[in-house]
Amino acid sequence: MTSEVGTRVRVPKMAELVAAQLRRKIIRGELSEGDALPAEAALMAEFAVSRPTLREAFRVLEAESLISIRRGARGGARVQPPEGNVAAKYAGLVLEYRGATLQDVYDARTVMEAPCAALLADRRTDEDLSRLRSAVAEAEHLMDDPSAFIRAHMEFHALVVELAGNQTLTVLNGMVRHIIDLANWSHVDLDAGTPENIRANRRGFRAHVKLVELVAARQGEAAERLWRLHLEEAEDYLLRNKSMTTVLDLLG
């Protein structure tokens, strides 16, 4: 479909074009993590731009967390790999603006994470099982320390998604987890060590142990059912804090 006559077409600024070229090199791995970008004079010559234009391109990439800049005589720009937490923080802003509830976020996690348990059971390797069992063993040793236990608990959930092997789900789930992890910490601050908290932790730990058994047996459907129930129970427990019902309550 052609554009209407008279429609204005925005021409990208030169700094945006330079940033796009450097961004592409980072994404394709032509520039690796920790690499220093070439000297400003070399880049100015390569792109035929002025120093202010080049520095504006740097600011674009720095805002995207693709480079870090050290000031001073021994400073310069160095490459950073794309991190999911950048997208997660922006997603949090969008959800705040849209008035998303915490229940909405938890429901989204269940939709994404439960099928990952089935994927993991179907695809798991011996190394995957070893990592899962190590994570469970670590959490067991932390049962008497609510703060350390909830950290291990959250890391196990992230590990399940990671080992499922779907990169898109890993990134999307990471965006949701940024919010859920904050909610978990807030809840720990409220009732760490209470009888209800202890019961919830033990029940959650048993679900983790059972999941590893189902993954080891390659029982994908059963693993998904178990994990969905576990996530729903966790949601019910964590949403009992009525002081926070929206993402804005949590992040605002």
- The domain that holds 70 is classified in CATH as 1.10.10.10
Same domain, 63 and 101: no
Percent share of the chain, pLDDT over 90: 56
Residue 108: predicted pLDDT? 94
- Tokens 């029982």 found at: 219
Final residue in a domain of this structure, among 43, 63, 79: 79
Packing angle of the helix pair 14-27, 40-47 (nearest 10 deg): 110
Same domain, 178 and 196: yes
- At residue 71 the predicted structure's pLDDT band, cuts being 50, 70 and 90, is confident
Same domain, 58 and 103: no
Domain that holds residue 175: 85-251
pLDDT tens per residue, range 164-203 = 999 999 989 988 888 888 888 877 777 778 888 889 899 9
- Give the three-state DSSP class for 41: helix
Of 196, 193, 206, the closest CA to residue 144 belongs to 193
Whole-structure pTM value:
0.77
Is residue 58 within 8 Å of residue 67, measured between CB atoms?
yes
